Structure 1
Amino acid sequence: MRPLFWVAALLTAALTAGCGSDGDWSQPHPAPSAVGALGAGFIVAPPAPEATVTPAPGSWDGVHPSAGYRVVLLTYGDDAPTKALVAAVEDWADAEDADLRTVVADGPADLVPSITRSMALKPDLVVSAGNALVDPLTLVTPSHLDQRFLVVGAELAEPTHNVTAVDWTGASFRGEGLGSASTYDPASFTAARCSAAIRAGVAAVLHDLTGIVIWLE
């Protein structure tokens, strides 16, 4: 029985070690990097702050995050566009084996606190999905320039260099009383469009193309 005892003990130790380290964001990890390069036509020249760039479709497909990329999905809203964005981020994280955690705001009064909780996790990137988060992000992000944010399906009116957005005709919510564009169309939040948004946005962030709006055609 002695050999079986030792085998069981070793298996238990291995499983315990795996559970203790997997997803433990309290431990430091290597700085994230881009695996792969942006394709031709993603940008023509280095963009100015707050500029809008229109990359060639699919020019982001060859870019992937390095292992252990830590992402918080910050979301609020049960409307169809928000649900489509959330599904796209979750699918992207599964495909890329990114370490994803989700923070859901518990009502309008919890929007700013939910951003604070997201930052407290110290992720490599906070991805925001839901128009109601735009104005709270406008308030919070300028005071936390060391934290990178990606807004999908909307944009901040005046983003600081740590905030990148991905938008398109049919989305374009900007907050600050500007609301939705006259072309706002919930039907434009297709699975393909939302998938392109998260992939193009992450590709830009990983290549330090931040503080801009990425416009999808």
Structure 2
Amino acid sequence: MAAWLATTVLTAALLAGCAGDPWAESHPKPVAVGTIGAGFVPLSPPAPESTIKPSPGSWDEVHPSPGYRVVLLSAGDDAPTRTLIAEVRGWAAAERVDLRTVATDGGLIERIVQALELKPDLIVSVGNDLIDPLATVTASHLDQQFLVVGAEVAEPTHNVTAVDWTGASFRGEGLGASSNYDPASFTAERCAAAVRAGVAAVLHDLTGIVLWID
């Protein structure tokens, strides 16, 4: 009887563990699989908040290590945002990234906090409406890496990396869209490249900067 009870308790514990959230368990720190190519960064290390122009395709050989945990944080239903969402999901599927999504239909800061509570390796933000809330929250969570695609925080801390191009570069803080803002510039090809370039930078600890991918 005692043996039967012990087996029953162990089985129940195992089932409970399987039913739990795997993200609640620790996992190895992600690393870059592959390296950035020539021309990705200038000869000297980029200064905080600076803008670099990596050579096209210099990020192609970089992949996240298995088990990379990413939260896609999005706001808006405009065409550029939809394209960015699709390309983030496509990248995650191709790289077998463990992706979760938080769509900000309501309170923006509350949803950013929700993403933070998941403790991912990276939060990818798409949608101009998120820029000002991110500027409010990110400086208080320096241990969490953020990647902003198609926009940028005006004064990023070292944990906020952005990827922009001519036709994008929304900065918030009342500045609005740049004079050359062009929704048509958010092509699937450019958005896909932006995601890969940004992740390559984060995986190589090149953070707190803006990547310009024209």
Cα distance in structure 2, aligned partners of 1:53 and 1:206:
16
Cα distance in structure 1, aligned partners of 2:63 and 2:78:
29
Name 1:177's counterpart in structure 2: 174
CA deviations on 1:51-86 (whole Å, 9 max, x unpaired) are 000000000000000000000000010000000000
How many pairs align?
A: 200
CA deviations on 1:111-157 (whole Å, 9 max, x unpaired) are 00000000000000000000000000000000000000000000000
Cα distance in structure 2, aligned partners of 1:182 and 1:196:
23
Name 1:41's counterpart in structure 2: 39
Cα distance in structure 1, aligned partners of 2:185 and 2:130:
20
- The secondary structure found in structure 2 opposite 1:87 is helix
Cα distance in structure 2, aligned partners of 1:22 and 1:212:
37
1:122 aligns with 2:111: no
Name 1:132's counterpart in structure 2: 129
RMSD: 1.5
- The secondary structure found in structure 1 opposite 2:24 is coil
Name 1:211's counterpart in structure 2: 208
Query: What is the TM-score when the length of structure 1 is the normalising length?
Result: 0.89
What's the CA shift for 1:106? 2.0
Query: What is the TM-score when the length of structure 2 is the normalising length?
Result: 0.91
Cα distance in structure 2, aligned partners of 1:132 and 1:39:
33
Name 2:50's counterpart in structure 1: 51
Name 2:143's counterpart in structure 1: 146
Point out where structure 2 has 5 or more consecutive residues left out of the alignment: 1-10
What's the CA shift for 1:20? 2.4
Partner of residue 32 from structure 1, selected from 30, 33, 36: 30
Cα distance in structure 2, aligned partners of 1:33 and 1:84:
27
What's the CA shift for 1:22? 9.2
Cα distance in structure 1, aligned partners of 2:85 and 2:27:
26
CA contact (8 A) 1:72 1:118 kept: yes
Cα distance in structure 2, aligned partners of 1:23 and 1:71:
15
Q: Which amino acid aligns with 2:66?
A: A
- The secondary structure found in structure 2 opposite 1:25 is helix
CA contact (8 A) 1:23 1:99 kept: no
The percentage of counterpart residues that share the same residue type is 68
Q: Which amino acid aligns with 1:68?
A: G
What's the CA shift for 1:93? 0.1
- The secondary structure found in structure 2 opposite 1:161 is coil
CA deviations on 1:147-185 (whole Å, 9 max, x unpaired) are 000000000000000000000000010000111100000
- The secondary structure found in structure 1 opposite 2:23 is coil
Point out where structure 1 has 5 or more consecutive residues left out of the alignment: 1-12
State the 4+ residue runs in structure 1 displaced beyond 6 angstroms. none
Cα distance in structure 1, aligned partners of 2:123 and 2:21:
16
CA deviations on 1:15-59 (whole Å, 9 max, x unpaired) are x97x92896100000000000000000001210000000000000
Cα distance in structure 1, aligned partners of 2:189 and 2:196:
11
- The secondary structure found in structure 2 opposite 1:100 is strand
